Structure 1
C-alpha cells in the first residue's frame, strides 16, 4: 500500500512525517529505523507519526534515527504546526501549543522540571550541579523539557569533541532513559550551542536542546529572556520565566512530499 509522506526540517534537523489520522500506520522501531536510514530509506533525524487525539488537535509520536520512541521534539513540533495548522499537539512529553509567527512558527512547550526523578536520574542528585564529569565536561545542570537533557557551559563549544563524549554521556547508567547532551558558550549575550541527541547523534539543531540550554542559562543568571540560541543550522529565540512554559520561535521548512510502500520495509 502506497502512503504519502512529507519531508520537513527545522534548521536542518530533518523529519519524515506520516499522517495516520484517517488510516492507521502500524509503526515499529524496526520500521522507523528503516525509513530513517539515509542510504536505504528516506533519511531523517526523526520519524514523526500523526495520529488522532482526544485532548488536542493532533497527536504527534516521535521515533529517533535509531528507532527509539521519545517524548518530545521542538523542531518537529514547529514543522507539524506549519504542515497541519494545528494549534495544540499531544505528545508523550505534554501538550504543545503552536501558532504561526511572522515567517516562522512559535510553539509553547511544557514548563521545565528539575526534580531528579522527573528527568529521570537513577538516584537522587543535585540537578543544578550534577557531581559528575566526562573529560573536560563537568558538573552539568540536568532538567526535563518534555525529554531529558544535561547542559554544560564551556568557554568554547566548538572545540569540545562531542562526537566522542556524547555517546558515553548519553548511555551513562545515571540516566536510565538515556540523555540529550548540550554544550554551550555565551558570546555577546547570545547562546552558541551544539547538541548530541540521544538516538540521533550530532544534529544541525535541536529545539528542545535550545530550550533546555536557555532555561539553564536563565536559571543561573547568565542571560535574560528572551535569548537567541545559535546552532549550526541557524538560530531560535527562546522565552522563559520561572514557573512558566517555554516559548520557542523559529522557522519550519517543507522540503518535499512523496509516496512510499511501507510494506517493503516491514
Structure 2
C-alpha cells in the first residue's frame, strides 16, 4: 500500500455528522491513524467527525466475515473516528457512504434495490426513501440483559453542567452506547459536552453517551410516533451534531423505559436535523435520514501532514 502525493477527497454529511470520504476501490491507499487525524483536523485539514474509505470487502481482513454472511456485500465502509481509531459502525456514515457510492457509479438504488454494505459490525442493508436513505442497522441488545430492562438502568453518568450522577441504560448497536434521560430542554441545553461524560462502571472499549429528553407521542396518518431530542458525545470524536447509531440507541432506550405500549416509530431531533428510527421484527432497527455530498477536491498530503504536526 502507498500514500500518494495528492489525494482526492469528498466532503459529506448526514444531519451535519460530517465525514471526509476517500475512493480506494483499488485497495492501494495506506490509511493510517496519522493520516486520518490530519484529514479530520478542522483547521489544518479538510475537517470532519471521521474518515470513510470506500474499499472492497475482499481487500480487508474484516471483509471475510462480511462476504461469508452475504457475498453481495462487495463494498466495505472502512470508518475511522476523527482521532484515528477504528469504529465498528456509523449510522449517518452508512447513508453518506452509499450516497458516495452512487456518485462514483458503483451503486444504483434508483430502482428500489436493496444494497448490502460491509461494516465492522456486520452487513448492513440500505434502500432509498423519501428522506434520503434507510439503513437496516441490524440486531440491537441491552448488554445488561433483563435486569437492566427491569431496572431501567445499568450505569451511572455524570457530565459537566448536569447536577449529580444520573442513571443510564447501556444499548449495543454494534458499537456501545449509554443513554441518559433528562427532565427538560433546559437541562439538555445546559450541558457542556466539550468534556467526555464520566460513565460508571467504565466501559472497557469506551462508549458514546446520549443525553435525551423524551417529548411524548403524537398521532400521525401512519400511526403513533414517539419524539425525543438528543445531544451526543461520541467516543474518539467529542460532541457531534448527529449520531445515527446514537439516535437508534436513544429511541430504543426511551421505548424500553416506556414499556410494551411504546410506539415502534420515533422521530429523533439532533442539533443537525431529524432522523427517523423504526423498530423492526427480530430486535432489528432501521434508521432513515438524509445524506449530502457538499464538496470534492484534492489534498496535498505532505502539506496536510506537515500542518497537522505544527
Q: Is structure 2 residue 69 aligned with structure 1 residue 69?
A: no
**Is 1:5–1:258's contact at 8 Å kept on the other side of the alignment?**
yes
Q: What are the within-5 Å matches in structure 2 for residues 54-65 of structure 1? A: 54=58, 55=67, 56-65=73-82
Q: What are the within-5 Å matches in structure 2 for residues 217-228 of structure 1? A: 217-221=254-258, 223-228=262-267
Look up the match of 2:25.
Answer: 21
> How does the TM-score come out when normalised to structure 1?
0.89
- The 1:234/1:168 distance shift into structure 2, 3 A limit, reads closer
Give the superposition deviation at 1:159. Answer: 2.4
Ranges in structure 2 where 5+ consecutive residues have no aligned partner: 59-66, 68-72, 108-114, 218-226, 306-310
Q: Which of the numbers 130, 154, 164 marks the counterpart of 2:154?
A: 130
Q: What are the within-5 Å matches in structure 2 for residues 160-239 of structure 1? A: 160=188, 161-164=190-193, 167-169=196-198, 174-189=202-217, 190-221=227-258, 223-239=262-278
Q: Is structure 2 residue 58 aligned with structure 1 residue 34?
A: no
Larger Rg: 2
Q: Distance in 2 between matches of 1:158 and 1:21?
A: 47
Ranges in structure 1 where 5+ consecutive residues have no aligned partner: 118-124
Q: Distance in 2 between matches of 1:5 and 1:12?
A: 18
Deviations 1:166-221 (A, max 9, x none): 51426x66211111000111124211111111111111111111011111122222
CA RMSD after TM alignment = 2.2
Q: Which of the numbers 2, 8, 14 marks the counterpart of 2:6?
A: 2
> How does the TM-score come out when normalised to structure 2?
0.77
Secondary structure of the 1:240 match is: strand
Q: Distance in 1 between matches of 2:292 and 2:193?
A: 30
**Is 1:166–1:181's contact at 8 Å kept on the other side of the alignment?**
no
Look up the match of 2:97.
Answer: 80
Give the superposition deviation at 1:24. Answer: 1.8
Q: Distance in 2 between matches of 1:110 and 1:143?
A: 13
Report how many residues are paired: 258
Deviations 1:42-79 (A, max 9, x none): 11011111110142131111111122111110001001
- Greater Cα shift, 240-249 or 102-111: 240-249
Deviations 1:87-106 (A, max 9, x none): 12111112111111124111
Q: Which of the numbers 133, 141, 148 marks the counterpart of 2:176?
A: 148
- Greater Cα shift, 161-170 or 204-213: 161-170
Secondary structure of the 1:167 match is: coil
Give the superposition deviation at 1:126. Answer: 4.0
